[in-house]
Chains A and B, each alone.
Chain A
Amino acid sequence: MTKFVKNLTQRNETYIFIVIVVLSLMIQFRSGQFFTSNNIVDQLSALIVPGLFALGAFMVIVSGGVDVSCPALASLSMYATTRILVDINYQGGIFLPIIMSLFFGAILGAINGVLIASFNLPPLIVTLGTSSVFKGIMQGVLGSVQIPVIPRGMSSFGAASLFIAKNPQTGLTSRMPVAFMALVIVLIIVYFFLQRTMYGRGLYAVGGNEISAHRAGFNVWMIKFLLYVGVGMISSLAGLIRVCMMTQAHPTNMLGMEMMVIAGVVLGGTAITGGAGSLTGCMLGTILIVAVQNSLILLGIPTFWQGLFLGLLILVGMGVSALQVTRATKVKGPMIKGAQS
């Protein structure tokens, strides 16, 4: 038992979890609205898109890179998908749009993958470049404008709910979107790949030390290439879900999300140098960021101070956990342990 506690205190996730609990109590205390059924549902539905991006960003960071092109990639693929479907007056369900956006995502991801894996270029620089290219294609080639009406199948998917939470006191209702299942499913798939397959082990190995991974017999090129293809598909799915939920396609409204997403992943204890980090930490970090972003008004922080507060929270949160973990373990935490959570 004591070993279990000691183990916990050495884990980054524990501290993030404590920060989340403290913050929730603070919000509850200030507004009396945090632990209401509809607010919890609101927070979870706000988590879907950043959560999907975070899963992609997490895998890239584990592999030793940083991907800042996710939102641009997602925007391009969702825009292309929606544009084509609107132009052909598509009347069917959500299945085809999902397949199309996964397809576009895979292609765009493959561009990142080839550039990074074949030419051994730094992922940050490559994705900065492709991010501009994706935006450029969307604005130049496709002449992006807001698409006010999306195909019926997409908007009804976005509006479909698993259940509706009603707050008995205020009478406010919130929908739990069906799209939340997408996050759960992707989470399970990512978990399976990272923890149960040789591919996942290889990904951590590449992030830890590429040359060692190569010597140990991993196909580094294939691991990196497939990684970016996968991340492209996940990001695309996030983009499509955003469009469905908003029932309008707006080309630029996801741009700029990458920084908050990466902050969340790193906040969750993923080593920015690669090779270490757990899915639990990644999700907790993202939950923290999303909860804070969507609770600043509940907390009663004036508009002018919100940026400052958010920044400070990231610094403090990261500082506390980093300090505890470095104090507790002199060696870099074993990466596969995250599997037990």
Chain B
Amino acid sequence: MKRIFAIVLVLLLVFSTAACAKTAGPAKGKESDWEIVVVPKDATNPWFVRMDVGVKEYAKESGLNVYQKGTPEIDATLQSQLIQDLIAAKVDAICVVPVDPGSLEPVLKQARDKGIIVIAHEGAPLTNVDYDIEAFSNDQYGAFIMDNLAESMGEEGLYTTMVAHVTNASHNEWADGGVKRQQEKYPNMTLLEAEPRVESEDNGDIAYQTAKELFKKYPDLKGIMGTSSYDAPGVARAIQELGLEGKVFTSGTGMPADNAELLKAGAVKALTLWDPALAGKAMAALAVKMLRGEEIKDPVDLGVEGYTNLKFKEGSSTVLEGEGWIVINAENVDSFGF
């Protein structure tokens, strides 16, 4: 008798916890009781300090309890411990920029099993998430760099593309996207057939040497579309030294603080990147949208600049791509703080 009672008790316990877990879910409680936490890769990297600015701004605007909490250093283990702590603290939504997506899967699964909403950024391969937000599709970002280059080149002339390595997936997708854009939109520009893609090996010095060679061998070359963050600064150095300022141009990705001097000196007109502050805001906004029980349907409008027209990545039901690129130039370079 005692034994049966024990079994019943155990079963009761198991079911009741399961039932509890079920009831916890979206659209619960008062909005002011919600707790939404953004977990960056670490707390001190300028990139994520900038993200915190966006998260704080969002918290102020919405009046909700949204905050960023990061580990002291970039470490996959520390990050997963932090998320476990947050699960134990019963937060309502976790927005994470994973250090190592693969190793984070089990703990994100735990979180979702507990009914916590999980949003990721730069974590496209993750499966245990509700949604992953990407600032842009590689294809369109490439097109954007091209627009930038075309503008400085006056939409005409010979150009080539530079990537870190011809084996690097995202850089080559950007470069392909750029070339495609040129073919569609800028008929007066031509790709240098002999050297359509050169390598900078993610090294400013090699970008510089390679650019010098290109300009010597091909005097007609008018632009180099860079992709890696070392490309444009390296090419700009070559342009300055060879005395080609104002005659040839470059564009590419770059961080504001690293390139402030170059931009102000006019060696590079404008560089492109995405703003982590806006990405942080977008994650929080998506979490709130889900907590409110709103349906997430293509295209998603998060009310954050660059994230008003999010579309699902082809063949994916979790990865949302925005148009979150921005231009940095001599005027706005000092306003970012990273």
Contact = CB atoms under 8 A, between A and B. Distances in A.
A293 B201 CA distance: 13
Interface string A35-69: 01011001000100000000000000000000000
14 contacts: A42-B212, A42-B216, A146-B258, A148-B257, A148-B261, A170-B216, A172-B215, A248-B204, A253-B203, A294-B213, A295-B213, A297-B198, A300-B194, A303-B198
Interface residues of A, number: 33
B166 A303 contact: yes
A174 B230 CA distance: 21
B315 interface: no
Describe A's contact surface by its main secondary structure: loop
Interface string A236-268: 000000100011101001000000000000000
Nearest to A302: B195
Contacts of B242: 38, 172-174
B205 A170 contact: no
Contacts of A302: 194-195
A39 B216 contact: yes
B195 A33 contact: no
A46 B209 contact: yes
Interface string B187-227: 00000001101110001110011101111110100000000
B260 interface: yes
B259 interface: yes
Closest 10 CB pairs of A and B: A297-B213, A148-B258, A173-B243, A172-B242, A253-B203, A33-B216, A298-B217, A31-B217, A294-B209, A170-B219
Contacts, number: 77
Interface in A173-224: 173-175
Given A172-B242, A242-B205, A303 B194 contact: no
Given A148-B259, A148-B261, A302-B195, A297 B214 contact: yes
Contacts of B244: 172
A303 B233 contact: no
B241 interface: yes
Contacts of B208: 246
Contacts of A303: 166, 195, 197-199
A152 to B, nearest CB: 11
